[in-house]
Structure 1
Amino acid sequence: MDACPHGVQECDREGIITFSNCAHARMHGYAPGELVGRSVLELIARPADREAFIGYMAGLVRDQPAPAPYETLALVKGGGVFDVRVDWDYLRDEEGDVRGFACIVTDMSAQRRAESELLEHEQAEEFRTRTLRELDHRVKNTIAAILGLMHLSAVGVEDVGDFVCSFEARLRAMARVHEALAEDGWEGLDLGEMLRTTLRPFAIDCVTLRGPSTELAPAVIVPLAQVIYELATNAFKYGALGCEGGRVLVTWTCTDGRRVIEWRERGVESPPSSLREGVGMSLVRGLVECELGGCVAHECTPEGVCWRLELAREAS
């Protein structure tokens, strides 16, 4: 048996080792014959497994179930552990009573490493596939959004230069939000952070933001940022962000999962009595109602324009 490359062990009913070949002794770090007379409990690494093994051995002697492989974490003399599998059968006396156990002991370390490497490879491949699928989805959505902006920016524009300026400005606004989302791994973005990012090119010192911390998904943040950009552009051209002393108050609330955002302009010297249904307003309505499933309303007050954006619950 000493020429056998596998560990071979015999023990009595109490778990005392009565035979151990060279391969078995070597895998545990012992010299040939050194394990004979020791308890198999000395070879089990985890204390909880040792406690369980005592009951396991007693059950085998008492109930004599069909042999089944036993796996545990084994000790190496002087330190170290390794995964081990024990295939065993009963040793019986002349009357057929159980007198002990004969075991083939296999070091499973190499197999466990191979299984772990295979699992890591499968997980990496799954992550790669999922990432490519998500990237494809985002690229298609981004291209669709850019095309939509391009067509809207071209409505009613006769001068190519005007078209380029308006389209580029909207595209840059979208890019800033995409960059902020990318920094957080596209998991989402706080509403306040999105507002600060979008309003940065304007007179941000004239804007007051007030509302609770509210995390929104990318599918909500991107179109909502475009809406805010259009409101800010309109305020810069005709309202509070384009006149001395003008201010904008942006507030948001959350009730029963429904987000309401209010944009209030103050200090406008000659506020409009009504708003023209131009490209910007069409874009605002289209994004809020179609992309976000919400509703939008505005009011022209003596101090400036007020907007109310209500997002659908599922869009929040």
Structure 2
Amino acid sequence: MWFAYLRIMTRRERARSPDRRRLDLALQAAGLGEFEWDLDRDVFVVSERMAAITGMPAGEMEARRGEAMDAYVHPEDLEALRRRRAEDLARHDSFEAEFRQIRPDDGRAICVRAAGIVERDAAGRPVGVTGVVEDVTARRREEDQRQELMAELDHRVKNVLATVQALAIQTGKRTTSLPAFLQTFGGRLKAMASANELLTAARWRGAAVDHLVAGALSALAPGQTSAEGPELFLTPRAANALSLALHELAANAVKFGALSTDVGRVDVRWVRLPGGGFELTWTETGGPRVKPPARRGFGSTLIEQVTGRELNGEASVAYEPAGVRARLRAGPQAIAPRPETVPEVAAPRPVETVVTSSGPASLKGARVLIVEDAVLLALELETGLSEAGAEVVGPAYELEEAMALLDRPIDAAVLDANLNGRSVMPVAEALARRKVPFVFATGYGDAGGAPGGFAAPVIRKPYDVTQVAAAVAELLATT
């Protein structure tokens, strides 16, 4: 577009142009300022629009073969600009460059993009340049921020993968069977995922303690837990650490502690500390008489060593006869200011499924459509549902594949909400019209209900395939 403007702005054409006003309006609308460089006269002409953009004085000035303009260029960009300009004047019919400029009026550094048409005489010698400039500071800033965000994302992903790897290794060393490993490791992954949902809602600036506690307690026995404490916002590091510790305490309470009975209780309280930071206590009562564990598991190590360090404080677990009591003490470094722009979010909910039997779900003879764009997850789903007795339709990895499978007999479906950037809603709508029940298995953290407003169960990733099978079985049992 720029060069289209420039071609009608050359000195000879512009002098003849009857439509100068239209060109001026176009330049103004595009946020461009024009200039001329007469190489024969060695003068540079700055328009009022260019003066407003660059801070350079408007009017005609001595060019000094380009050195007059160079005085306004950022020193770090000057050499590259000179090389580019010399090459374009010698070999090309156009000139284009992006560089930083120091405004002479206020000293601010701005990023400028300049483009021009090189005019030549009959012998091919450059005699002038007519061009435009644009302030691209905001765009450059956005690009720089995008690069910083990508670098930060890469760093966080690697940290998460390293953490998952460490959890897998440490969990594996302390479990005696594959089922036990999968259950324990899967629970820890879910705790990380719950914390990640809260951190994402706050744009990774932190998470509130009450949300983290509610997320850990929401999957436990209703009416047997309570939580109370002041509003505190934690750093991402502290939030992840607290989420994992609460998960370990909750899992042990259900397996061996107060919540293994109908009359036991878990009370969670946290208070601010005078010197900054906070102290959280987890107290179990009314359960079986407690004995110290015969061997130290990774859960205890995770709480007492990892959590304490990550909170810049200390952590301890006491196995008192009346019930387990844990104390997590965090230093002031764990506290983050609550961002004013962060919306209130609901605490992560457990999987919205109700398992009606204590054994594995049976899907014998059920025809279940799988729509999932992650190949490994689709294969895991296919294996798990097949082992439960289902006849798998698909899997479909793309929206078109899923739509093409809808003419087959289908009893139920498992849908990923997003298929390579495309919504699965067309599939869900088609299934709803046919009254085929489905469950969403999604990585999205919205805890407000099923995507699209459907009355369908939602299973948040990461999940255990047995949960998906149980959800599908429950759907089929109620339809």
Give the Cα–Cα distance (whole angstroms) in 2 for the partners of residues 188 and 196 of structure 1: 16
Q: CA deviation at 1:230?
A: 0.3
Change (3 A) 1:204 1:141: farther
Runs of 4+ aligned structure 1 residues displaced above 3 Å come to 83-88, 113-116
Supply the AA of the counterpart residue of 1:265.
E
Q: CA deviation at 1:288?
A: 1.9
TM-score by length of 2: 0.42
Which residue matches 1:286? 305
Give the Cα–Cα distance (whole angstroms) in 2 for the partners of residues 207 and 114 of structure 1: 65
Q: CA deviation at 1:114?
A: 5.3
Give the Cα–Cα distance (whole angstroms) in 2 for the partners of residues 141 and 84 of structure 1: 48
Q: Residue by residue, what CA displacement relative to the aligned partner does 1:283-304 show, whole Å, maximum 9, x if unpaired?
A: 2122223333321223334431
Q: What percentage of residue pairs aligned between the two structures are identical?
A: 28
3-state SS in 1 of match to 2:176: coil
Q: CA deviation at 1:203?
A: 2.1
Q: Residue by residue, what CA displacement relative to the aligned partner does 1:210-240 show, whole Å, maximum 9, x if unpaired?
A: 1111011111101210011001111111111
Give the Cα–Cα distance (whole angstroms) in 2 for the partners of residues 305 and 261 of structure 1: 14
Contact 1:252/1:259 (8 A) holds in 2 = yes
Give the Cα–Cα distance (whole angstroms) in 2 for the partners of residues 266 and 273 of structure 1: 14
Contact 1:224/1:287 (8 A) holds in 2 = no
2:180 is aligned with 1:162: yes
Give the Cα–Cα distance (whole angstroms) in 1 for the partners of residues 204 and 174 of structure 2: 35
Supply the AA of the counterpart residue of 1:172.
K
Q: CA deviation at 1:87?
A: 5.4
Which residue matches 2:215? 197
2:235 is aligned with 1:217: yes
Equivalent positions of 1:242-257 (< 5 A) are 242-255=260-273, 256-257=275-276
* Alignment partner of 1:299 out of 318, 321, 328: 318
Contact 2:304/2:317 (8 A) holds in 1 = no
3-state SS in 2 of match to 1:205: coil
Change (3 A) 1:211 1:85: same
Q: Which moved more, 1:271-280 or 1:253-262?
A: 271-280
* Alignment partner of 1:145 out of 159, 163, 171: 163
Give the Cα–Cα distance (whole angstroms) in 1 for the partners of residues 177 and 319 of structure 2: 30
The CA RMSD measured in Å over matched residues stands at 3.4
Supply the AA of the counterpart residue of 1:151.
I
Q: Which has the larger radius of gyration?
A: 1
Which residue matches 1:258? 277
Supply the AA of the counterpart residue of 1:289.
G
Give the Cα–Cα distance (whole angstroms) in 2 for the partners of residues 298 and 215 of structure 1: 24
Change (3 A) 1:180 1:204: farther
* Alignment partner of 1:183 out of 195, 198, 201: 201
Give the Cα–Cα distance (whole angstroms) in 1 for the partners of residues 276 and 133 of structure 2: 48
- Size of the alignment, in residue pairs? 227
Q: CA deviation at 1:241?
A: 1.8
Equivalent positions of 1:87-106 (< 5 A) are none
Which residue matches 2:330? 311
Supply the AA of the counterpart residue of 2:182.
V
Supply the AA of the counterpart residue of 1:194.
L
Contact 1:227/1:287 (8 A) holds in 2 = no
2:150 is aligned with 1:132: yes
Unaligned runs of 5+ in 2: 1-13, 25-45, 50-54, 61-112, 115-131, 336-479
Contact 1:152/1:283 (8 A) holds in 2 = no
* Alignment partner of 1:206 out of 208, 220, 224: 224
Supply the AA of the counterpart residue of 1:196.
A
Q: CA deviation at 1:85?
A: 6.2
Change (3 A) 1:115 1:286: farther
Which residue matches 1:227? 245
